[in-house]
Structure formats: C-alpha cells, structure tokens
C-alpha cells in the first residue's frame, strides 16, 4: 500500500512547481536570447557583464567624439584643398599680369580676379559649419577625447594657416600686396609678388600635409575603437547570450521529467484514494 501524507503531497507539489519554474526560465532564455537576466542567475558573470556594458558605453561616447573629429578634419582638409587651388590660380594670374602691358585692360581684370580670390580665401578661413562650429580653431586647437587619457587635435588653428606666411606677413597681406603690384607696381614688384605667392602656396601645401597626418591618426584610432568594440561585444555575448542548442536540450529534458512526475503523481494519488475507500 502506498501512503501519501499531507507533508509528502505538499513536497511533491512544491518540487513540480519548481520544475515548472525552471522550465519557464529556460523558455525565457530562448525567447529573449539572454541566459542571464538578473544578478542571482550568475553573480560572477553578472559583474563582468556590467563592467563590459560600462566599457561599451564609453566606447560609444568615444566613437561619437571621433565621428565629430573626423567630420571636422574632413571639412578642414576640403577647405585647405580649395585654398591650395586658389593660391595656384594666384600664381598663374601673377604670371599673366606680369606679361601684360600696363595699358591693357587685362591687367585690371587680373587684379579684380585676385580680389575675388582674396575674399574667397578669407571666407574659407573663417567659415563655420551648420552648427556654428568654426572649420579652423581660433588661436588654440580644441582636443577631442577619443579614448582613456587620449585626446586628439582634429584641425589646425586659422592663425597657423593665415599668419606669418611670408616675411611675417599674413596670407591676406600677401594677396593685398600682389593686387597692388599688379595695379601700380613695377616689374620688380610683380616679380616679388609672384615669388611671395609661391612661398605662400608652399605654406598651404605644408598645412595640407600636416592635416593629412591628423586625418590618418583619426582613422587609426577609429580602427582601434572598432576592434575594441568587437572584442567587447564578443566577450559579452559569450557571458550573456543563450546557447540555443544546449538550452533546448535542457528544456526538453525538464519537460519530459515534469510530465513523467505529474503522471506518476496522478497514478499514486488515485491508488491511495481507492485504498482509503476500501
């Protein structure tokens, strides 16, 4: 005869309830794709996941800062390229102006075009983006944080491009002197203006080269951030993500066990009831 007491009945019901709870947890792991949902699931891994999450958040911030720096660097490089092209045009115009007679209207046309170039270069040096951020920093460079203890210079200062270009004169002053030489200067003045324009062009080319180094550094940092983000994601996935094959196998085993326990419990309960009725 099988005897079922109130205590054994309660214990069996509790055991089956715990099994059902375990099954629900396994089903949740499958549906959410996460095997750790709270610290009690695995305290040690939970701590690691939390630390990895903080590092991922920092990486996201650094990547956002880097994107901003790259955007500024690209715009600065574009403006420097335009200034290079304009200064190349200045040298061509000075050659033309020097070979044109003073009475020819062509010389005044050269001066007028030089004035337009002067204005355009000034606009490029002082340009701001749609957010009001200057393309080139003013006086001192702004360093952008892109990593732990790492901040980079994205663009040069406007003064490093425009000031002390030729014999202490600014780029604007060199252009102003060139215009004056075309209109009112001697042949020697125009030759000197051409030499100064070529020196100014070399100055712009050097600035472009330095900007290229900045852009390459930003690209290298971006590669490192991408590698770091991938490593963090893979590590977190290892700790947090559900192994579907393993979890499905466990779920099926627990379902089978629960069904068998419920069937056995039902049979024993029926037999005990019949025994009590005899």
> What is the per-residue pLDDT for 276?
47
Other CB atoms within 10 A of residue 24 CB: 11
Q: 214, 153 in Cβ contact below 8 A?
A: yes
> What is the per-residue pLDDT for 99?
79
Helix (H) or strand (E) holding 79: helix 43-98
Of the candidates 258, 243, 266, the residue with the CA atom closest to the CA atom of residue 23: 258
13 is a domain residue? yes
Range of the domain at 251: 6-32+243-277
105 is a domain residue? yes
> What is the per-residue pLDDT for 222?
95
> What is the per-residue pLDDT for 272?
56
Virtual CA dihedral for 46, 48, 50, 51, nearest 10 degrees?
Answer: 170
> What is the per-residue pLDDT for 49?
75
Taking the chain (278 residues) in consecutive chunks of 10 residues, what is each chunk's mean pLDDT?
A: 55 67 61 62 76 90 95 96 98 89 81 97 93 92 92 96 96 97 93 96 97 96 93 80 59 65 64 52
> What is the per-residue pLDDT for 227?
92
Claim to verify: residue 10 and residue 91 sit in the same structural domain: no
> What is the per-residue pLDDT for 51?
87
> What is the per-residue pLDDT for 76?
97
Number of separate domains in the chain: 2
> What is the per-residue pLDDT for 2?
45
Query: Can you tell me whether residue 100 is helix, strand or coil?
Result: coil
Beta partners for residue 128, in sequence order:
134
**Which CATH number is 198's domain given?**
1.20.1330.10
């Amino acid at each position: 005869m099988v005897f079922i007491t109130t205590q054994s009945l309660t214990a069996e019901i509790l055991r089956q309830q715990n099994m059902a709870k375990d099954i629900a947890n396994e089903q949740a792991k499958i549906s959410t794709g996460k095997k750790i949902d709270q610290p009690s699931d695995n305290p040690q891994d939970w701590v690691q996941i939390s630390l990895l999450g903080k590092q991922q958040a920092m990486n996201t911030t650094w990547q956002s800062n880097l994107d901003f720096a790259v955007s500024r660097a690209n715009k600065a490089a574009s403006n420097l390229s335009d200034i290079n092209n304009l200064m190349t045009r200045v040298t061509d115009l000075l050659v033309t102006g020097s070979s044109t007679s003073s009475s020819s209207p062509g010389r005044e046309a050269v001066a007028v075009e030089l004035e337009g170039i002067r204005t355009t270069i000034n606009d490029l040096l002082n340009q701001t983006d749609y957010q009001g951020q200057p393309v080139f920093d003013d006086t001192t460079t702004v360093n952008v944080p892109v990593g732990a203890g790492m901040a980079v210079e994205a663009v040069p200062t406007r003064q490093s491009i425009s000031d002390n270009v030729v014999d202490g004169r600014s780029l604007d002053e060199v252009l102003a002197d060139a215009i004056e030489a075309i209109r009112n200067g001697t042949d020697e003045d125009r030759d000197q203006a051409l030499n100064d324009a070529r020196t100014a062009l070399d100055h712009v080319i050097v600035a472009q080269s330095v900007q290229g180094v900045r852009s390459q550094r930003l690209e290298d940092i971006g590669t490192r951030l991408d590698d770091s983000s991938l490593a963090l994601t893979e590590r977190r996935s290892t700790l947090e993500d559900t192994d579907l094959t393993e979890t499905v196998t466990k779920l099926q085993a627990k379902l089978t066990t629960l069904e068998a326990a419920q069937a056995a419990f039902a049979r024993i309960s029926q037999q005990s009831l019949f025994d009590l009725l005899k």
